Amino acid sequence: MRIAVLSRNPNLYSTKRLIEAGKQRGHDMIVLDHLKCVLVIEQGKPRIVYGGKDIVGIDAIIPRIGASVTFYGAAVVRQFEQMKVFSAVESQALVRSRDKLRSLQLLAKSGIGMPKTVFASLPKDIDNVLEQAGGTPVVIKLLEGTQGIGVILAETRNSAKSVIEAFWGVEVNILVQEFIKEAKGADVRAFIVDGQIVGAMKRQGAAGDFRSNLHRGGVATIVDLTPEEKATAIKAAKKLGLAIAGVDMLRSNRGPLVMEVNSSPGLEGIEGATKVDIAGKIIEYVERNEFTSQE
């Protein structure tokens, strides 16, 4: 098979591992920068031009789309889908997962546990927003934030009001969430491929930081998930239509609470913690679906 990894940086760990895993299984692996893809939209003849030449002969793609270029990246994935190329992450699922508000609404509708979340547009009564979130401390998140950027813990009512007023003053959309104290600055990530959990890790935030993101100095260790955590993670990924996903959960007194379902989860932390060939699992998933599409 000829498999293209859609990535802006061929030197990223995740990209390199996918290329390596594919080559080990005898596939022709290439990296395509999705921002350099030119989409030609024509009746009955969808095409993608790259470096002045039509892209042909691709059997499958593995999207690694950054949050900042979701709109264009999803358009590229959609164009490949229209060209009858299998995508490991469907374009609609990618867009759905990147819309934090929409994804939380979908998960809540499915009965999946999550921190109580409040969304409002320039309300006159910030006190009411804080009350609906359960009172301070609260976590304030930018809707467009990633990797822990734009996530703030406001421990007092005055600090929360100041932060919310500042964001609304520049017309930035935010979510206000209850703070799960018992999580103690840690979360668990379940890595899902094709409806199965292939690895799980606990991420502990750096000293003095309630955020557990590895990019912010957090530390990852292997962890055993409870049956409820496993079921929650699988259900969350399925609800958003993601065959490949990293489901981030907090361990609370009322069970696992989903914070986010990531459509392009990094491989370095999970492979380092679990010693599992996650990249190989992804290639195997692509193989199964490509062979099925040819039957």
CATH number of the CATH domain containing 14: 3.40.50.20
Same domain, 194 and 149: no
Same domain, 272 and 198: yes
Largest CA distance in the chain: 62
Residue-number span of the structural domain to which 59 is assigned: 2-96
CATH code where residue 215 lies: 3.30.470.20
Contact 77, 6 (CB under 8 A): yes
Percent of the chain with pLDDT over 70: 92
pLDDT category, 204, cuts 50, 70, 90?
A: confident
Q: What pLDDT sits at residue 191?
A: 98
Same domain, 157 and 239: no
Q: What pLDDT sits at residue 295?
A: 43
pLDDT category, 214, cuts 50, 70, 90?
A: low
pTM: 0.90
Length of the chain: 295
Residue 223 forms part of a structural domain: yes
Q: Identify the DSSP state of 226.
A: P
Same domain, 68 and 41: yes
Residue 273 has pLDDT above 60, yes or no: yes
More confident residue, 210 or 69: 69
From edge to edge, which strands make up the β-sheet containing 60-63?
A: 28-32, 2-6, 60-63, 86-87
Residue 54 forms part of a structural domain: yes
Number of domains the chain is built from: 3
Same domain, 151 and 217: no
39-48, 97-106, 114-123, 233-242: segment of lowest average pLDDT: 114-123
Highest mean pLDDT among 128-132, 193-197, 201-205: 193-197
Residues 6+ apart with CB under 8 A from 135: 157
- Choose the final residue of a domain: 144, 179, 214: 179
Contact 248, 187 (CB under 8 A): yes
Same domain, 86 and 168: no
Same domain, 131 and 196: no
In the predicted model, what is the mean pLDDT of the chain?
Answer: 91
